[in-house]
Amino acid sequence: MIDAFASFSPVEVASLAINFGLLLIVALAFNLQWTNAGVPNLACSVSILIGGMTVSAITTRITFFMVQLAGVELLPFVSDHDWVFNNEYNVRTVADGFLRTRPDLCVALLAFSLAVSLLLGAGLGWALSRFTFRLKATHLMIVLLPLATVLQFLSRVLVAVSGGSLGVYVPDLLAFYQGDRVVLLAILTLSVGLLVLALTRALFRSQYGRFRREVGYGGSWAEGEGCDVAPLRRNIFVFGSAVMAVTGTLLSFTYSYVNPANYQVPFWTYWTILAVSIGGIGSYAGTFLGAVFVVLLRHVAFIYRDELSGLIFFPQAFLLNVLLGALIPISMMLRSLVLRREKPQEIHGMKALSAHVIRFENAHERTGLPPSRCSSPHPPSSSIQ
């Protein structure tokens, strides 16, 4: 097994880092939604698809219009037919004759794509939560899984958005870089992944983290206190969906190509579930380790596919799917396999907050007014250490 990693070239290491970074972003957002919203988002591939179509439908068209305004001649791209079949020539012309000498424009378009995908992903998360959060978690999972498949199928019909079943190429916004673009993409993807990890860690350790965690575990205590848990669940779901959309944007720039087939539900949903479950549900560090495990597992299975084919009775192409189908239930049933279990956390300021709530309730009891526990004012900032 060591031989599979000893002869790695820098490009291969960078490709492995890109796969890890993409999976880490999705797994962290999935874990956050599962733990703090109580919803395993089985439609996460739709959020990733939104990020990819942001590049194909918006960024690519804006780039084409800017190039035409600069005097560069492109083939027609207005109709669906021209958009698909003239796309390769137009993208090559844009990269070679325009973007290669304009690094500032490339960075601006990249930042624009990430920002728009965040907004569209958040909008998708809000829409899904708005119309489906009335269901219980089990029923919600049943609805989200086929919904993801249906939305992905509909995206193939929208040729002007996704390029249909043939897909479309997208401008290479790293064309200005003279070195190997895979290394730069790896640095970008890992940077975004580590940023999401830092944000997730901050959310898990925030002073209201316990309350959100209780909402994620069913919200029975919060609902018993009279709290409206729906907005809290919705906010977490929206945030996670927005983060997942960034993955689709990064994936489109990695391939310089967008096709709905790259955003399949089994790949982006089930491998994410394996990374989260084997890393430890509710543990951001465990999610990091789970993503490492999944990426290495897929790489080792690919390297030794010929050796393993003699040990299995089914076609070699099904090897990863069989491994995935076996490891998910095993990791969920055997808790001893979890790489890092969720640990109780001491949240700063929670004691002061609890004492303030108790004083507030006692004041209501003395006055005879009905207490409103969820609308109690927050304690002064000086009381929270």
234-250 tens-digit pLDDT: 888 888 899 999 999 99
Number of H helices and E strands in the chain, helices first, is 19, 2
For CA atoms 151, 153, 159, 162, give the dihedral sign: positive
In this model, does residue 346 exceed pLDDT 60? no
**Contact between 4 and 300 (Cβ < 8 Å):** yes
DSSP reduced 3-state for 169 = strand
Q: How far is CA 339 from the centre of its chain?
A: 21
**Contact between 17 and 189 (Cβ < 8 Å):** yes
In this model, does residue 301 exceed pLDDT 50? yes
Contacts with 46 (C-beta within 8 Å, 6 or more apart), sequence order: 124, 147, 148, 151, 152, 263
Strand 168-169 to 257-258 pairing:
antiparallel
Average pLDDT, the chain: 78
Eight-state DSSP code of residue 205: T
Report residue 64 as tokens: 């084409």
Least confident of 79-88, 151-160, 171-180, 312-321: 312-321
Q: What is the pLDDT of residue 372?
A: 47
In this model, does residue 324 exceed pLDDT 80? yes
Residue 91 CA to residue 116 CA, distance in Å, equals 21
Residue 309 CA to residue 325 CA, distance in Å, equals 18
* Between residues 347 and 253, the one the model is more confident about: 253
Q: What is the pLDDT of residue 190?
A: 93
Q: Name the band, by pLDDT with cuts 50, 70 and 90, for residue 230.
A: low
Least confident of 90-99, 106-115, 373-382: 373-382
Q: What is the pLDDT of residue 62?
A: 93
Eight-state DSSP code of residue 168: E
pLDDT more than 70, % of the chain: 76
In this model, does residue 260 exceed pLDDT 60? yes
pLDDT, one tens digit per residue, over 23-52 is: 999 999 998 888 877 777 888 888 999 999
| Of residues 71, 178, 59, 61, the one with CA closest to residue 111 | 59
In this model, does residue 202 exceed pLDDT 90? no
* Between residues 131 and 293, the one the model is more confident about: 293
| Of residues 59, 200, 163, the one with CA closest to residue 120 | 59
